[in-house]
């Protein structure tokens, strides 16, 4: 691998000596943990500073004004201050990453820093003052857990076995020193890779947090149950914990889903599940669940059956939504409909009675009218007859 254009370990060393005050030894500072910042970031603390430059300007191999805070914190550990400078300058010059550097020569100070501050990555050499590399990794693992923080160890030439042992103890990678300093070329690549991985992990965590927030905000049980006797992976919204449901209750009892179903609804649920298991169709059912210490709640359960490679039902994953409120509204609506139907029937009966009375009155009036009309006609005929008889008598 060719050296990066214009940069060699010797030139970096000369550049560091020309542009940065060497400063007194670490032991003269009240807190022997130096802080710097790369890619246009400020030093934290009054340690090294570029000659003839204002205090708010950081040296990163070139003059750069401060612009924003670093979001990646890298801890350098090693007795050789010049080697730490080379590492810091190499990363600052060749990575467009907002890195905040923290460095010390002692392992105990580094461990205290890891315990008290956020550290995204550690690079340490095998010349730590108060402990060797394997001891540092062992104590780091006890403090943070194995591989919690990405660690790169810089070892002496030929110390491959120590590097392999370091990786077994949780180190992310190791580099072997060489006389020409070619191992410094690999540092920007390794740090960039770890930074990218960390950014991806943070993005996934943010996405997971968003999904969890959405899940927690809806009154639903999201579940994933094994149909072959495996682990029951269940996610339950906080609203259901208030009703007496918990992950342990669902995940530790394969028959709980069936037993919690209301007795009157178990046959319906079983038939729907059996149909889904046979055909692979979507399971969809509404049934009551006996919540411990509470009245039964109605749930709408919609799930998909996942088949294994042999075509057998393997998993049932779905969403249960509490529809007790809707069911209560349905009951209330049914009551209102019943009352409305009852009122309509009563009013109809009363109207029927009134219609019958009116029809009876109408019939009676019609009959009376016909009688009166007939009497009128009879009287008219008699009058006409009398008139005719009188006319005939006068002529005679």
Q: How confident is the model at residue 386, as a pLDDT?
A: 86
Instruction: Please tell me the distance from the alpha carbon of residue 334 to that of residue 328, in angstroms, as a whole number.
Output: 10
DSSP state of 44: S
Q: Which domains does the chain have, with CATH numbers?
A: 9-212 (3.40.50.2300), 218-322 (3.30.450.20)
Least confident of 161-165, 226-230, 322-326: 226-230
Question: In 3-state terms, what secondary structure has residue 49?
Answer: coil
Report the pLDDT value the prediction gives residue 14, as an integer from 0 to 100.
43
- Give residue for tokens 């077994």: 168
Per-residue model confidence (pLDDT) at position 316 = 83
Residue 260 has pLDDT above 90, yes or no: no
Q: Are 137 and 171 in contact (CB under 8 A)?
A: yes
List, as one string, the DSSP characters of 69-87. ---EEEEEE-S-HHHHHHH
Average pLDDT, the chain: 75
Strands (DSSP E) found in 267-346: 283-289, 297-307, 313-322
Which of 59-68, 92-101, 172-181 has the least mean pLDDT?
Answer: 59-68
Q: Look at residue 226 and tell me whether its pLDDT is greater than 70.
A: yes
Q: Residue 243 — very low, low, confident or very high, per pLDDT cuts 50/70/90?
A: low
Least-confidence region, from 168-172, 197-201, 212-216, 276-280: 212-216
User: Which pLDDT score is estimated for 255?
Assistant: 63
Q: What is the pLDDT of residue 234?
A: 55
pLDDT confidence tier of residue 339, bands split at 50, 70 and 90:
very high
Model confidence at 241: pLDDT above 60:
yes
pLDDT for position 338: 93
Q: What is the pLDDT of residue 337?
A: 93
The full length of the chain comes to 396
- Higher-confidence position of 127 and 339: 339
Phi, psi angles (nearest 5°) of residue 314:
-110, -45
Q: What is the pLDDT of residue 329?
A: 92
Determine the pLDDT at residue 213.
81
Residue 109 corresponds to which tokens in the numbers above? 């100070």
What was the pLDDT predicted at 336?
93
**pLDDT per residue as tens digits for the range 10-62:** 444 444 444 433 333 332 222 344 444 444 333 333 333 333 333 333 333 22
pLDDT of 10 reads 41
């Amino acid at each position: 691998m060719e050296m990066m254009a214009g940069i060699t370990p010797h030139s970096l060393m000369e550049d560091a000596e020309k542009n940065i005050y060497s400063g007194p030894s670490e032991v003269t500072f009240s807190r022997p943990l130096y802080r710097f910042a790369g890619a246009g970031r400020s030093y934290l603390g009054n340690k090294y500073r570029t000659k003839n430059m204002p205090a708010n300007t950081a040296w990163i191999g070139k003059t750069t004004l401060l612009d924003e805070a670093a979001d990646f914190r890298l801890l350098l550990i090693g007795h050789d201050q010049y080697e730490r400078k080379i590492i810091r300058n190499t990363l600052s010059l060749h990575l467009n990453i907002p890195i905040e550097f923290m460095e010390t020569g002692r392992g105990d100070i580094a461990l205290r820093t890891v315990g008290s501050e956020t550290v995204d990555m550690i690079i340490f050499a095998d010349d730590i003052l108060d402990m060797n590399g394997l001891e540092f990794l062992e104590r780091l693992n006890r403090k943070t857990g194995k591989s919690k923080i990405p660690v790169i160890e810089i070892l002496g030439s030929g110390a491959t076995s120590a590097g392999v042992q370091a990786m077994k103890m949780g180190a992310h990678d190791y580099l072997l020193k060489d006389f020409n300093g070619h191992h410094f070329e690999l540092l920007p690549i390794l740090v960039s890779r770890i930074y990218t991985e960390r950014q991806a992990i943070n993005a996934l965590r943010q996405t997971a947090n968003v999904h969890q927030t959405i899940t927690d905000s809806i009154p639903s049980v999201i579940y994933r149950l094994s149909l072959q006797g495996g682990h029951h992976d269940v996610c339950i919204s906080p609203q259901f914990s208030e009703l007496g449901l918990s992950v342990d209750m669902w995940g530790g009892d394969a028959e709980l889903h069936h037993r919690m179903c209301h007795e009157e609804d178990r046959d319906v649920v079983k038939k729907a599940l059996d149909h889904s298991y046979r055909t692979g169709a979507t399971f969809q059912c509404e049934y009551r669940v006996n919540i411990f210490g509470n009245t039964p709640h109605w749930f709408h359960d919609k799930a998909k059956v996942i088949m294994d490679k042999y075509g057998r039902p393997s998993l049932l994953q779905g969403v249960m939504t509490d529809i007790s409120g809707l069911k209560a509204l349905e009951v209330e609506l049914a009551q209102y409909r019943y009352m409305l139907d009852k009122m309509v029937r009563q009013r109809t009966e009363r109207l029927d009675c009134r219609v019958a009375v009116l029809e009876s009155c109408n019939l009676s009036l019609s009959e009376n009218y016909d009688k009166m009309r007939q009497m009128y006609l009879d009287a008219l005929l008699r009058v006409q007859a009398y008139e005719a008889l009188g006319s005939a008598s006068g002529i005679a």
